[in-house]
Amino acid sequence: MQTLSLHGNELKYLDIGHGPAVILIHGLLGSHHNWEPQIDTLSQRYRVIVPDLFGHGESDKPAGDYSISSHAATVRDLLHSLDITSATFVGHSLGGGIAMQTLYLFPELVERMVLIASGGLGPEVSPLLRAATLPGSEFVLPLMANRTVRGLTDLAIDRLDKLGLPLMSASSSEAWRSFGSVQDAGTRRAFLATARSVISFRGQTISATPHFANFPNIQAMLVWGARDSIIPNSHTENARAELPHGRVEIFERAGHFPHLDNPDRFDRIFTEFMRDCEAGASRPHLVAEA
């Protein structure tokens, strides 16, 4: 991975391919690994930028500001350092919220958005994430993610997979892998700071939908899994009412990581979306298929 030094901290990122710029922004506890199928396919047609946000993956995990505005500023600084004046923003979960915050704060950077199971479109969110914002959760999380518990679970998953009885979908497997990173103290601190900046015990505390009126011509596609247990796909309706040029795609047999559950379909609809945007067309419609 490449390295950018920002304010004395190292931000790790990938910069692969040539063509129009596309930036892929992962979610809470995620990293560039959440985008592996997309990196392979999109880099054949685009210049693909994939950061590990501060507090995540291989980037530094300093004590400090982990609000979505701070993450949006980091994305801006990364793009400026690469002489990229605008890009297509693709954000998953928290990354979708960061994409929308970037549009609000630095609108010249955002050509269009693809929001995948995005935060910031409604209050509902997993009870586990709400509980993680409670006082004392910093002491409980490492117990839940300790090596013994994870080792036994990984062993059971592996044996069932070898028997042809997969216990987890791609979505569940990726969520489980991401959760394991809270064993690291720096990651855990960043996770709690980020989560508490956007979530309370009552649910998500930040909504981007009121700002959409400021950007009536923004081209956007929302992608969701019908089986998402983290953020419900009903949030597409909240956004759809405010995005006249929006396109909604529901993956019927997918969870919180629809781009991993069905990467071929994601590649197809992303290609269609980009083609329509570049042609100046808008296709506000709802598509639901496996």
Pairing mode, if any, of strands 246-251 and 219-225?
parallel
Length of the chain (residues): 290
Kind plus residue range of the DSSP H or E element containing 44: none
Spot the catalytic one: 32, 228, 235, 259: 228
Active site residue 83: no
Q: Which of 93, 169, 178, 181 is catalytic?
A: 93
**Partners of 250 in beta bridges:** 224, 288
Active site residue 65: no
Catalytic option among 178, 256, 259, 261: 256
Best CA proximity match to 250, nearest among 241, 242, 237? 237
| Catalytic (active site) residue 70 | no
Q: Is the dihedral of CA 93, 97, 103, 106 positive or negative?
A: negative
**Secondary structure string (H, E, C) spanning 219-238:** EEEEEEECCCCCCCCCHHHH
CB-based contact 35:26 (threshold 8 Å): yes
Contact 52, 3 (CB under 8 A): no
Q: Which residues are catalytically annotated?
A: 93, 228, 256
